[in-house]
Amino acid sequence: MVRTNQEKTVDRLLTLYIIHRCRTKHGLSCISKTKMHKLLFYAQKTLIDNKIKAMSYSFVKVLHPTFSSELRSDLTDLTEQGFLNGDYYREQEKAERVLKDFQGIFDNNSLIKLLIDREIDQYAPMETSVLVAKTKKVPWQGKTIGALKKGTPLLSPLKPQNASISLNISEEDLEQLEICLSPIVAEKMEQADKDLQRGKRLTYAEVFGNLC
């Protein structure tokens, strides 16, 4: 299932928040790719278990043993845009500014934040090897995750009609957040900055016209 632009934007915000939580609450200055895929897996699982529509990643079983191609793509884009510094992901100042500017989204979704925090606070302190081993032992489809065939689907985005609660976000916040986190917009803004430095002034319509 292909994520909508709204789902992708929210996923990226929550991914940045989880990395921020790991640093500020647990002192993790960087997080490996393997650990990121476990933390996001558990965060999304608890939301789905509570019939909450917020995160929209798809996870499958692999060797380590949970993986999301969408999360990998988001981490790559967020790194290329300067929000993160990878491959061991570290939060950059740019990410802190976004989280501060959109703090109201978390204030308006206290239950979602509480559930995510609970999972992160349980699993972030674990060594990656311990977390991988624990995840392999999680019961799934009458087996354990570790015993499942490679490529077996684990989590899919919760359909809105099956959700009891959905993330509360205004259209204005969503639009502004998409501008901040969209690779296309980021590229245009970077080009606009370069053009301004060269003395070429572009109108708002010239920069963002094709995005409307």
At 28, the pLDDT band (50, 70, 90 cuts) reads: very high
- Considering the domain boundaries, does residue 71 fall inside one? yes
Tell me the C-alpha distance between 22 and 18, whole Å: 6
- Considering the domain boundaries, does residue 95 fall inside one? yes
Q: Please report the pLDDT score of residue 196 as a whole number.
A: 66
- Considering the domain boundaries, does residue 123 fall inside one? yes
- Cis check for the bond before 195: say yes or no (omega within 30 of 0): no
Average pLDDT value for residue range 123-146: 97
The two structure tokens encoding residue 100: 């501060």
Q: What is the pLDDT of residues 172-198, one digit of tens each?
A: 999 999 988 876 665 665 666 566 677
- Considering the domain boundaries, does residue 138 fall inside one? yes
Q: What is the pLDDT of residues 102-117, one digit of tens each?
A: 999 999 999 999 999 9
Q: Does the pLDDT of residue 208 top 60, yes or no? A: no
- Considering the domain boundaries, does residue 204 fall inside one? no
- Considering the domain boundaries, does residue 203 fall inside one? no
Q: Radius of gyration of the chain from Cα atoms?
A: 18
Q: Where is 140: in which H helix or E strand?
A: strand 139-140
- Considering the domain boundaries, does residue 176 fall inside one? no
**Number of domains the chain is built from:** 1
In which domain, by residue range, is 147 found? Answer: 5-167
- Are residues 138 and 145 in contact, defined by beta-carbon separation less than 8 angstroms? yes
- Considering the domain boundaries, does residue 31 fall inside one? yes
Average pLDDT value for residue range 74-85: 94
Q: Please report the pLDDT score of residue 212 as a whole number.
A: 39
Residue 147 φ/ψ region, left for φ over 0, alpha for ψ in the -120 to 50 degree band, beta for the rest:
alpha
